[in-house]
Amino acid sequence: MPARPHRATAIAQTAAVPRWIYGAVLIAAGALSAGQAFAQDDTLITSHGYSYFGDLKYPADFAHLDYVNPDAPKGGEISEWAPGTFDSFNQYTRDGNVGALATLPYETMVTSTADDPTAVYCFLCTTMEYPASLDYVIFNVRHDITFSDGSPATAEDMRFTYDLFMEQGLPEFLAAFKGQITGVEVLDPYRIKYTFGADAPKRDRIGLAATFPLFSKADWESSGRRLDEAWDKPVLSTGPYQLDNFDLGRRIVYKLNPNYWGRDLPINVGRNNFDSLRIEYFADSDAAFEGFKAGEYTFRAENSSINWATGYDFPAINNGAVIKAELPNGNLSSGQSFIFNLRRDKFQDPKVREAIRLMFNFEWSNETLFYGLYARVTSFWGQSDMEATGAPTPAELAILQPLVDAGKLDASILTADAVMPPVSSTSQLDRGNLRAASALLDEAGWVAGSDGMRSKDGQTLRVEFLESSPAFDRVINPYVENLKRLGVDAVLNRVDPAQETERTRSGDWDIVTQSFGMSLEPGTELKQWYGSETADDSSRNLMALKDPGIDALIDIVVKADTVDDMKNGVRALDRALRAYGFWVPQWFKDVYTVAYYDQYEHPDTLPPYALGEMDFWWYNADKAAALKASGALR
């Protein structure tokens, strides 16, 4: 069973700057909300990188990242798969179904690394200057940046991009971040200054100013396009890979720009090793797996436990043409879960949500369906020391008590252990949980009639699971059966990806699957995930969570000035989110399960926060020739 691929791509992602401004697709992998902890004076700091809570791993004169092979050969192609279809290349809107790797051509002022996830390093800039007060930041822009057509990039293009996002950016982004930057000034063609509002959270300031992709002002103004509309191709950009060709809904190919301006930057040494990146689209994961076995694409991040346990017994595996491997994954657990649409009156009652949650049997699913490969998601910050455990610590109580006193949180949070998912027996239907769920629905007024179905005020309790992936059928159908035993009119409605996208965006659903991609240094982006201000229009806060206690805890995390304060705030927030119960936690695994044709190689030691197959792996031409000679690949 999958650790669910993202709605737009099944491709494994590499660590990146936090993508606060993205729409339908998110690439959030252990990146930072930036700032710097210094004495509050006017001392001007000049640096090649930035970290709020600690020293930078890499000095200004570093030769290359520690986890790359600086001598990696260049050339060849790597290809992967994506589910469903696509009709747009604009990842900054929720219009259309965006194509895989749609942000690949774009670069930002700073970048993060896969081994220093709470720091950022100058990329489009050489250095940044800021006072200890963090009232502003000046980026000294590289003089040699060019767009893919050879035209130069300047600070004016960067100011234009910022203005564009402020005018046409996603409502959820603007709701969370608009007003934090009060001015953007081009000091000269290669210096740009961002001034911050007094209320802008300090840890977010530099990261926010540096996170906008670089667009060409001249190209944009001549095209007549808009940021809030679907695009039929990417816009002019500076990145190493550019769109080469595509077959709408079937294939996308990105090609390495031979004149890429940043090829020799130290941070790029040993990276961008492939000549081309190809994405093949398939209607579902079963068809995609057959395509992989047939050599239609060459690298597969396996997200199906049944495939991993039983499917890798085909000729290319047996003769060594395909490598099957488990590689380390140090990222936070994904927070993958079924979520409730809190817009629905029936889900306003926490007893109803808890009753439905009790009927999902992870233990039986893991043993019977998943071959024991998964662990249960328990926290939004799983696999980190920010996960809430047991009863609140004194530091957490100091945060929670004032909110309880103000009536923003229930007093039970002060004494209760952090909410954990219910544990079930290894029988599909756990009768103890069935009895507990029945009692909860009785208390909530949903009474079973003579036909066994539960109703209230003349309305039957109906729950629809909206899902586009056939791989989820074997998990959801037993869940549906358990709910029917409870008297709930539960159904699985499997739709095509376009329908799923449209209905999810419009709020026309009961239960869908969502992955909560948290960072190791959370900041204002939490408002996009859980804040009341984004509940009415968000691609992250899909459940439409509006809660004053959650909002207050988010503010505490955002304003935290020390590591301990931030971590204690996150633990308190994690505790409150889990107590709210808008999710049914699913599953995760702490390794990457991958298979690939034996023409790729990677560094002996992978970094903790990225698999990086499209970033710092490389192509072995001799091995590729042998595969073709044997007939394993065409």
Domain residue ranges of the chain, discontinuous segments joined by +: 44-327+591-630, 337-378+420-514, 393-418+519-585
What is the separation, in whole angstroms, between the first and last Cα of the chain? 30
Side chain identity at residue 330, one-letter code: G
How far is residue 360 from each of residues 356, 448, 585, measured CA to CA in Å?
A: 7, 20, 9
Domain 44-327+591-630 matching CATH 3.40.190.10: the answer reads yes
Q: In what order do the strands lie in the sheet with 77-83?
A: 77-83, 276-282, 251-256, 241-247
Instruction: Find how far residue 9's CA is from the centre of its chain.
Output: 11
What does the alpha-carbon distance between residue 401 and residue 148 come to, in Å, rounded to a whole number?
A: 55
- DSSP-H helix ranges across 510-562: 525-530, 548-559
What does the alpha-carbon distance between residue 340 and residue 583 come to, in Å, rounded to a whole number?
A: 6
Q: What is the DSSP letter of 307?
A: I
8 Å CB contact between 51 and 31: no
8 Å CB contact between 230 and 179: no
* Tokens, residue 392: 């609140």
pLDDT at 634: 85
* Tokens, residue 442: 């009785």
Torsion, CA 394, CA 399, CA 405, CA 406, rounded to 10: 180
pLDDT at 41: 52
What CATH fold (topology level) applies to the domain 337-378+420-514?
Answer: Dipeptide-binding Protein; domain 3 (3.10.105)
What does the alpha-carbon distance between residue 338 and residue 344 come to, in Å, rounded to a whole number?
A: 15
8 Å CB contact between 10 and 594: no
Neighbouring-strand partners of residue 619: 600
10-residue stretch averages of pLDDT, the chain, 634 residues long? 39 38 36 37 88 92 98 98 93 90 96 94 98 96 98 98 94 87 97 96 93 95 92 95 95 98 98 98 93 97 94 96 96 94 97 98 96 95 96 98 98 97 94 98 96 95 95 96 98 92 92 94 93 90 97 96 96 98 96 97 96 98 97 91
What does the alpha-carbon distance between residue 116 and residue 476 come to, in Å, rounded to a whole number?
A: 38
pTM score of the predicted model: 0.89
Relative orientation angle of helices 563-580 and 394-405, to the nearest 10 degrees: 60
How far is residue 247 from each of residues 102, 183, 196, 333, measured CA to CA in Å?
A: 15, 42, 44, 34
